[in-house]
Amino acid sequence: MVYPELEELSDLDEFGSEVDLGNPCVLAESPQTSDAESFTSDIFDIGRVPTNKSVLYSDPEQRPPIFKSTFQEYICVAVLTFAPAAATMASSSFRTSLQATSQFFNVDGGILSWCVNSVMLANGACLLLTGGMADALGRRNSLIIGYFSYAVFSLIAGFMNNFVVLCILRALMGAAVACATPAAAGFLGSTYRDSKRKNMVMSIFSLGAPVGGASGFFIAGVCIEAFNWRAVQYFIAILFCLLSIFVVFFMPDDETRMQWDRAGQIFRHLDYGGALISLTAFTLICFSLSQVDATADGWRTPYIIALLVVGLALIPLFVIYEIHVPKESLMPMILYESKNFDLCMIISAFSWMNFQGILNYYSIIYFEMIRGYSAIITACCMLPQPFCGVLFNIFAGLNMHRIPGRILVFVGCLGFLASSIIWATLPIDRNYFLGPFWAFLISVLGADFIYNVANRCSLGLVEKEAQSRAAGTFNTIIQLASSVGLGLSSTIVSSKYSLYGTAQEYDHKEELWNAIGYAFYFGVALSGVSLILSLFLQIGVVGAITGSDKDDDEKRKEQQHKQVEVTDSVPALCTENAINENVPNHTNHTAP
């Protein structure tokens, strides 16, 4: 006979610790823990994140039992995919609306770029802290907070008539949705076991960043053509308000959920010192690189050099601090012990410097400002990215258990290199289908393959309870790289074209395009270095069921079978032990 209270027990307790199945009295008497012991346990467990019990199911290809139906699983994965898409979608849509924003606020030059950079800057600066918060507060709670606050700030920004306030609100949008990205990655990483099913789920999730960015161009194009720049803000607000509702109704509670009465104690355990140092370094570096075009003297401006030097100096200070000071660091430092992770992050950083900071940014300038296309035509020119991105991610999800990760990264680097070469050698009047079309197609190939492999590499190196912090680390690196890439490329263009960043920058389009070509050559160099580094990767296939995995599954099934046999003898054994040891008999609590 199997007792209902014991049906859900396994060889791991709620925190992932082993339970002695050889002593059934441990199982029978566990509900009798005293109130004092329970209170003490709660105090010492503050900040600990239990392992998701969904990883205990035997067949890794089956639907995780945390989902009640396949429909719920599909909806949940789709909703979570919008987490990494939020910041890139906003950034690309704001880039497409630059001309409309410039005309409305009468702002141009380098200052105008802040209405775009503020989102990425705030998002990247807050990812490390929010990664730890997601593991502490609960991933479902973090997603609800992130999506809803993102929608609220976007709605308020749509009513703004002051440019500075608009930039501040867009920065708050980036900071708000930073709660969601690590939480979403942590939930999926801890819910699924390594398998072909997990490969497909993580590939769909990886669609978010590159395809979200590409989709933002089309969203802005339609909104501006039909209404104005404010419609972009309203659309984003409506979309993420609906997504927050979907999270409430469809996303199950994983075991990182928290009790709100303990929120104060959990927040006291967060690494605020590391967050302050990283935030300061991130902000100073990106501010100096972005502001250089807004000043009259450029790099000869004293505070630009000073802020950049201070920001760069804070990076090694942050690393030393994280290693020696906090008990729970913002970044799982074990990540950096892996050579594959280090190489993956360098390759991802160089690739995103090129992808977001050069390829996508200057392609918008080419179509709208140099060729004179409308926002909707520009959006149509960008359509190969989201469509091909979906196909490439499906391919990656279906084949990551067959094709080694190092091969996918190598192909991705080739895609970025080829795309950069096409743009760098593109004549100003080249036919769209003879140049830009192919550049868009193969650039998203690089983004999707590299993101898939690097994301799995990050999540695969840490325990389940640190998944959100690992995701926060990876996304922080690529967001910082995007801002740095944009700043460096702008510096290159301004050094070749003196009118860049001024109100007269579009008066000489031929000269401007020649200057932008040097930025694309910088992208060629970044992609070439990434391609060489990819040769040293040693990442194999992901999600393939090996012989050891099959043995583990067999052992797990045998353990579950033994557990069922144990439950049949629990009352008699515990009664005998209780009589022999003069311990009060608690077996009535385990009777049916």
Assign 57 a pLDDT band (cuts: 50, 70, 90): low
Q: How far apart are CA 406 and CA 539, in angstroms?
A: 5
The encoded tokens of residue 252 equal: 């199950």
CA neighbor of 191 nearest in space, from 242, 251, 267: 251
Q: How far apart are CA 443 and CA 196, in angstroms?
A: 26
Name, in order, each residue with C-beta under 8 angstroms of 83's C-beta and a sequence gap of 6 or more: 143, 146, 177, 180, 181, 183, 184, 185, 208
Lowest mean pLDDT among 153-162, 251-260, 390-399: 251-260
- 160, burial (CB in 10 Å: exposed 0-12, middle 13-18, buried 19+): middle
Lowest mean pLDDT among 123-127, 373-377, 515-519: 123-127
Instruction: Indicate whether 583 pLDDT > 50.
Output: no
Lowest mean pLDDT among 210-214, 337-341, 345-349: 210-214
With residue 588 as reference, give the H or E element that holds it: none
Domain ranges of the chain: 70-258+266-270+328-534, 550-592
Report the mean per-residue pLDDT for the chain.
Answer: 74
Q: Measure the CA dihedral 231/237/239/244, to 10°.
A: 180
The encoded tokens of residue 135 equal: 């593991």
Instruction: Indicate whether 418 pLDDT > 90.
Output: yes
Q: How far apart are CA 494 and CA 136, in angstroms?
A: 45
Average pLDDT estimate for 65-82 = 85
The encoded tokens of residue 125 equal: 């600066």
Instruction: Indicate whether 125 pLDDT > 50.
Output: yes
pLDDT of residue 53: 47
Residue scoring higher pLDDT (74 or 257): 74
The encoded tokens of residue 360 equal: 């996508």
* Contact present, 491 and 292 (Cβ < 8 Å): yes
For residue 217, CA distances in Å to 241, 325, 383, 387 come to 20, 43, 9, 13
Residue scoring higher pLDDT (516 or 464): 516
Residue 402: DSSP 8-state: T
DSSP 445-464: HHHHHHHHHHHHHHHHTS-G
For residue 174, CA distances in Å to 41, 114, 163 come to 37, 13, 17
Instruction: Indicate whether 422 pLDDT > 80.
Output: yes
Lowest mean pLDDT among 89-98, 123-132, 448-457: 123-132
The encoded tokens of residue 121 equal: 């800057």
Assign 356 a pLDDT band (cuts: 50, 70, 90): confident
What HEC string does 242-306 produce? HHHHHHHHHCCCCCCCCCHHHHHHHHHCCCHHHHHHHHHHHHHHHHHHHHHHHCCCHHHCHHHHH
Q: How far apart are CA 238 and CA 216, in angstroms?
A: 15
Q: What is the pLDDT of residues 452-462, one digit of tens each?
A: 888 778 777 77
504-524 CB burial, b ≥16 within 10 A, e <16: ebbeeeeebbebbbbbbbbbb
Q: Is 70-258+266-270+328-534 assigned to CATH 1.20.1250.20?
A: yes
Lowest mean pLDDT among 184-188, 272-276, 296-300, 540-544: 540-544
Kindly tell me the number of DSSP H helices and DSSP E strands found in the chain: 24, 0
The encoded tokens of residue 23 equal: 């002593």
Q: Is the pTM of this model over 0.85?
A: no
Q: How far apart are CA 519 and CA 560, in angstroms?
A: 60
Instruction: Indicate whether 302 pLDDT > 80.
Output: yes
Bridge partners, residue 537, by sequence: none
Largest Cα separation within the chain, whole Å, is 96
* CA pseudo-torsion sign 336, 340, 346, 352: negative
Average pLDDT estimate for 355-373 = 85
* Contact present, 144 and 243 (Cβ < 8 Å): no
Instruction: Indicate whether 494 pLDDT > 70.
Output: yes
- 551, burial (CB in 10 Å: exposed 0-12, middle 13-18, buried 19+): exposed
Q: How far apart are CA 415 and CA 409, in angstroms?
A: 10
User: Which of 131-145, 208-222, 233-247, 472-486 reaches the highest mean pLDDT?
Assistant: 233-247
Q: What is the pLDDT of residues 509-550, one digit of tens each?
A: 888 899 899 999 999 999 999 999 989 888 877 655 544 444
User: Which of 10-24, 434-448, 549-563 reaches the highest mean pLDDT?
Assistant: 434-448
Q: How far apart are CA 503 and CA 525, in angstroms?
A: 30
Distance of CA 335 to the CA centre of its chain: 16
The encoded tokens of residue 295 equal: 């000043």
Q: What is the pLDDT of residues 10-55, one digit of tens each?
A: 444 433 334 443 333 333 333 444 444 443 334 333 333 444 444 4
